[in-house]
Structures are given as C-alpha cells and as structure tokens.
Structure 1
C-alpha cells in the first residue's frame, strides 16, 4: 500500500512537470509571435539596402521638419515609400515608443491626417460646406507635405489595380518585419505599424498595416487600406483610431 502510494505520487509529479513544460513552451511561442524581430530573420537594414539597389527610388524632403523620404512610381502614381513621420497633434508613436517612428512612421487619427477639427470624428465635415468641398477636391493636402496629399479611396483602388484581383498584398509588403516576408515587388515597402484605439491601446504591431483615405465611410468611420499577411482590402474603421499615412504626389 505504501509503495503504491509512492508510485502514484511519482506519476502525478511527472504529469505535473510535463504539463508545466508544455505550458511554458506555449507561452514562449506566444511571446515570439508578439515580437516582430523574432518572426522574420531578414533585418530591416538588409531589406532596405536590397530595395535601394532594386528600385529607382526618388527622394523628397519635408521642409517642415527636414525628414527625407524615398518615393516610388507605381503605375501612373508616385507614392512615398515610407510612412509619414511628421509629428502633428493627434499623432502617436507605434506601440507608444518614439524609437519606432523612424522605421514605422507615426499613427494619426483621421481628423489629424486631414488637418481638420476633432469635432469631425463623429460627424460629417458637411457641417462646414466649404471644408467639405475642399476635402472632395483632387489633391487634398491634409497633413501631407507641400506637393503631396492624402490618398482618396479611388487612388487606393488605382494602386490595387496594378495587382491580380486575388492579391493578398504580398506585392506591397516588405520582406522584413512581417512573420511571412512579402515580395515587395514594386518598392512600396509596407511595414506593419499596427494601430491605436481611442482608449490608448496599441494593437497588431508587427502584424498589420493600415493607411488612411480622405474619404468618409458612414457617420463615424472613414475608408482605410489594410494589409495583413493574408489579405489586402479597403473598408471603414473608426475615425478615432490612429493608423499610418502614406502620401501620394499631386498630379
């Protein structure tokens, strides 16, 4: 009886140890999945160097803050090949870490991206009919530097038309940072900066890229371009969310 009790306890201890090891492995795996650097062994610097040698990038310097950006022609459009970094009211560093800004740019609420009052987060700019018509015009500048503007929904659609209808955005995703490297076949260099909810929570850093359109989507939303490792689409999100901005050159 005593021997059986000892054996029973030993077996129970072994079961507990095995369970603890498995839980530890799951936690370790989850931690690695949350870290972009652990997901992809292609370094940012190597990725950028490869793009610099593969594409005929132009450059543009924002006179407001001296920030210089790569630019790239895709189809008939010229895009910034980096996320906007201009520090405006209503903008945030990805994951609330200013060291992320150089690579990932800043995150902007919709009203910040358009450079309009915060009151239009939950109501249409049509309240100010002059402002409304300005936003509807081609090349509406918003927070973009001089000579550039916030893309319209139509301009995002034009960019997407360069790729197959079933594209998941692999042509736009960078080869670095993402868990599954993109092809970045046009030099757009989309990086997963994630986004910020109005309550201050940062989400999907290293997993998702979102970019504003100037166009409204209902009363409290606006269109955004979204790129994940599995999809590319245009849909509405809350204007109070803070996401990335890519600028397109005036024509």
Structure 2
C-alpha cells in the first residue's frame, strides 16, 4: 500500500508548550504546518484553474466566527466561501512552482474565536488542482477547552493506550478488525471527586481520532449517511474494565448534526468518586470494530476531559491528551502479536498476605488456542481454546498470585497453537513485585505498610517486646490488635532504614486525606477500617503510675519531635470528636503506641 501523505500539525503558540487547543471566548492564532511526505514534489498551478487549499474549520466555530478569521500565506490569496463555510487559499504565484518532498508549507489562521461549549473536532484541508501524488484531504485535531483559572486543580490522571496503540491496516476486501484499549489511572490518594455529596454538572470525556484516507489518519468519516466497512463511524466504544467505577459510553450517531464522529465517556450519576483510589484507581475502555484501509503510518487519538470538579468549591482545569496510534502492516505469519497488561509491570505489595491480581491481554493472528504459564510457585498453567477464531483476535485473563514477603520477578509465558496443536510462537511478559513490608530484625515480625506521597508508613502498631514496654491493662488479648505501648526513649530505638515519624510527617499524612467539605474526613480515612488502609488503633495510654486509660476511645502515637528534654509531641486520634491533633505533648516516660516510617524516592 503506497502512502500519499501530507502531514498536518496544528498548534496554538499562546499555550505553553504549544498545543492543538483553543480556549472558549479567547481569540487565538493557529499555526498550521503541512509537510510533503508524498515521496515526490508537488507542483502548484496558476491561471484559470489555480491550486487551492480549502480549509474546513471545526464545527464549534459559527459562520460569523469563520468570517472574522484571516489567513496569510505568501503567493496565496485568501477568501471566505459562505456556501462551503470554508477558508480558501488560492495560489497566485508563478505557475510550475514546486513544493519539494519533505519540505513544509506553513501559515497562520488568526482571530479564531469560539464561544461554544468545550468539545473536540478536526481541521480538514482539501488540496486541489495540484500536480503530484496529492491526497484528497488531510486533517488534524483541535480541542476547545475552558481556559485555566487561578485556584483550579490539575486532573491527577495518567492516560494511555495499551500495546502502544497498535492497529493493523487492511487491504480492500480483506478487513482486519482492531480494538484499541484506552486506560485512565487516578494517581492521587483521593478519589477524583472528594466531596461528601454527589457531584453536580456535566463531567465528560470526549474521544476523537484523525479522519481521512492518508497515512496520518485512522479512517475516513466522509460516508456519514451510509457508513461502509473501514469507516470511522463504525467504531464502537464500550467500558472494558470498570474496577468499581461506573461509567457509560455514548457512541456517535450518524443522524446527529455533527460532521465528524466522537465518543462521549461519562461517569454514571450514582458514581460518587468518579474514579477511585488503590484497587479502584484504574478504568479501561475499548474501541472495537476498527478497520483501517489506509496506508501504514502514525495517527492520533484525542482524549479531552472537561467539566470535572474536585469538590463543591474547586474545579479541575480541562485537559487534553493526544495519544499516538501506530498503523502497521499485518504480520506475514500466524501467532501472537502482542502480550501486555493494562497495569504497570512494577507492582507494590504492602502486606505478606496481600493477593496480587495481574490483568493480562493479548492480540493474535489466526490462533486456535493459547497456553499461559506462570513462574510463580503454585500457579497452574491454563489453556484457552478459540473454536471459531477470527483472523485478528483479542483476549484477556486475570491471574491471582498469593502474597509474598519478598521482592521477586514473575514471568508469564504465552504460547500460541494452531487448530492441529502445532506450536506457532510465544511471547513473555514480566511483572516485578516489590514487597514494601517492614520486617523487624529484632524479632522477625512482619508489618504491612502504606505509601503516602514519598513516605512509607506501618499500618499496624509496633509489637516489639522490648524491656520496659507494656500491653494495655497487662491483658495479652489486647496485644494482637493494639500492639505494645512504649516510652519516648524506646520509641526512638528504630531499626536501620526506618525512623520515628516527626510532627511534620503526621501533619503531612493528615493533609493527604483532608477534605475542605468534611472536617472529619482525615479521621474517617485513617482510623481502623477507614478507606486509606492506615488502620490507626485507639490503643489508649499508660501513665507513670501504671494507670491505663482511653482504650477504644483515643489512640496516641509518639512523634520524634521533642518540645524539651522531658516532653515530646504525640499524634492523637479521638473517637468522640472524630479528629486528629498533633499539638499536645506527653512526658517522655508515658507509654503510648508507635508506628515507624521510611523515606522512599
């Protein structure tokens, strides 16, 4: 398949770094660059049938707004066509002028202002009356965002495509269906919506592609009224893996007013957190029935987030992610094409009994069965058969690994077979498990942990049987839940690599779970049974007269911050007020609970 391509890029120089984004109500300059990648020179014609560049702007510009735009390019005349609602550049230079291979043609569109609601669309340019291997049209995405505002938050998200966004192109009459997997990950310690009541407004994610027949486009969209195989209108979006996050996908309708297809992803109206944390921090969508009868090359998916709020008082700035898609020729032989996971290959466990779920995906070409082999002890091989397999197939499975107290690499080997059981090929995927578990070298006891920002915290109370420590009320039944109680001096006897948290450490921990709308949020999250997994215990205290108090009512934890030689600050969890304070001190010979921390990079 020979590529006739003109590569088109769009950027707004007022945004740093420059990007294909304009803001609602803000006049913008759009810098357009066209690069000749057709493999040969293109000749411009003058005279009665001059060369033209017909520019169709995104549908979020009205006819009035289009008429206000200006385009300047040396040797070209600019005009506006009201019948086409298009900007026209007409060549006015010497006939026979050439646009050499790999050379660029650059111009700017000024006074581009839209007052529409945020959305994404494309700029399409149709070159005509030129001599050479010229494509019918080229296009590039442009997103309309709300302008960033002081005080707004930044969306704490990672957005990516599985398998580097690979798509196999098809020959006419031999369609290969592809699926792209789009993933979101919440990278913060809090859900995307941190308010205590249900969010309001219209948060949505708008997904679009680059459309056309060139190597820089995924698929054409010019057959809206009657989409054929290979049309962008045929692509179907759906929720793939929700991980506790209820979302919906609205696919484009070719009966709607919009000239280009886009997919709208929205949280369900009962999805309080929008995207959660921990095991619920990931969300995946699949875009299937992609048939690309275009030349191999690079194209893009545009993912626009708009209308999201952090809480009732704080908005998130709109965000646009441009994800690369690699269009490739299909493989010449049968077998596995990709083997990957939507998760990071670096897995952290914080407890020796924590089960580890590894979600694996693969793409394959004319495969009848696969066998998956795992190197982790006790995990048996599994075989999956495909009695009615498609030429291009996809599948997924989840392998659950038992807990481990050690750092280890786990190797997954996927083998492909034909219908006669003949081995085709194999691919391997490796997961590296980091066990962030504190093993006390003094007695070998293991403690689970929790990472908050760059600090690792124990999530159970210290239970080192040091001389001078005690168990609440001298009752051994209390030790399993509350650990032991220590003086400040004993608390500061910490194994190498760990330390006693300072007053600042405790304040930073509390701040990570504080909400502007709920004064008790940090207590609820950090106390035993709370959403954070920190599991602070209300283990009480022992004074110098060996009097015990406050079990089940208050939890006290030493800090490393001394007020003076005889008094040290502590962190207090109070069930009555559902609060956490760090401003009070105890005499250093009082006995209270201890947690250690470790700094990580």
What's the TM-score once normalised by structure 2's chain length? 0.26
Aligned partner of 1:213 in structure 2 is 559
Q: Indicate which of 243, 247, 250 corresponds to 2:596.
A: 247
User: Is 1:100 paired with 2:486?
Assistant: no
Deviation, structure 1 residue 92: 0.6
Q: Displacement of 1:152 after TM fit?
A: 1.1
**Which residue number corresponds to residue 532 of structure 2?**
186
For 2:498, which of 135, 148, 167 is the aligned residue?
148
* Equivalent residue, structure 2, for 1:16: none
91-100 or 187-196, larger mean C-alpha shift: 91-100
Alpha-carbon distance, 1:56 to partner: 5.1
Inter-partner Cα distance in structure 1 for 2:543 and 2:487? 9
Cα distance in 2 for partners of 1:98, 1:145 equals: 25
Contact 1:72/1:80 (<8 A) preserved = yes
Q: Is the Cα contact below 8 Å between 1:151 and 1:214 reproduced in 2? A: yes
Q: Which has the larger radius of gyration?
A: 2
Q: Give CA-to-partner distance per residue, 1:104-125, whole Å, 9 cap, x none.
A: 11100111212xxxxxxxxxxx
Gaps of 5+ in 1: 1-51, 115-142, 176-183
Match of 1:66 in 2: 444
Q: TM-score, normalised by structure 1?
A: 0.60
Aligned to 1:157, which of 499, 507, 519?
507
C-alpha displacement at 1:219, in angstroms?
4.5
Which whole-Å deviations, capped at 9, do the CAs of 1:20-70 have from their partners, x for residues lacking one? xxxxxxxxxxxxxxxxxxxxxxxxxxxxxxxx9889524232121011111
Task: In structure 2, list runs of 5 or more residues that go unmatched.
Answer: 1-277, 281-347, 351-435
Match of 2:247 in 1: none
Contact kept? 1:226, 1:233, Cα under 8 Å: yes
**Is contact 2:454-2:599 (8 Å) kept?**
no
Relative distance call for 1:201 and 1:157 in structure 2 (3 A) is: same
Aligned with 2:448: secondary structure?
strand
Size of the alignment, in residue pairs?
164
Corresponding residue for residue 585 of structure 2: 236
Alignment equivalent of 1:79, drawn from 431, 446, 457: 457
With 62-71 and 214-223 compared, the bigger mean Cα shift is at: 214-223
Q: Which has the higher helix share?
A: 1
User: What is the DSSP-based 3-state SS (H/G/I as helix, E as strand, rest coil) of the residue aligned with 1:157?
Assistant: helix
Quick one: distance in 1 between partners of 2:464 and 2:446?
11
Task: Tell me how far apart the structure 2 counterparts of residues 144 and 92 of structure 1 sit (CA, whole Å).
Answer: 17
- Distance (whole Å) between structure 2 residues aligned to residue 56 and residue 201 of structure 1: 39
DSSP-derived class of the 2:481 partner: helix
Corresponding position of 1:49:
none
Q: CA deviation at 1:174?
A: 1.1
1:172 corresponds to 2:499: no
List, as ranges, runs of 4+ consecutive aligned residues in structure 1 with deviation greater than 4 Å: 52-56
Q: Determine the C-alpha separation between the residues in 2 that align with 1:163 and 1:107.
A: 26
CA distance in 2, matches of 1:199, 1:227: 23
Q: Which residue of 2 aligns with 1:112?
A: 490
Partners of 2:462 and 2:595 within 8 A in 1: yes
How far the C-alpha of 1:102 sits from its partner, in A, is 2.1
| 3-state secondary structure, aligned to 1:73 | strand
**In structure 2, how many angstroms separate the alpha carbons of the residues matched to 1:75 and 1:99?**
34
Higher relative contact order (CA 8 A, sep 6+): 1
CA apart distance, 1:238: 1.7
* Aligned positions of 1:48-63 closer than 5 A: 57=350, 58-63=436-441
Mapped contact 1:69–1:81 kept (Cα < 8 A): yes
Q: Give the Cα–Cα distance (whole angstroms) in 2 for the partners of residues 174 and 53 of structure 1.
A: 18
In 2, the alpha carbon distance for the partners of 1:104 and 1:210 equals 11
Contact 2:541 2:548 in 1 (8 A): yes
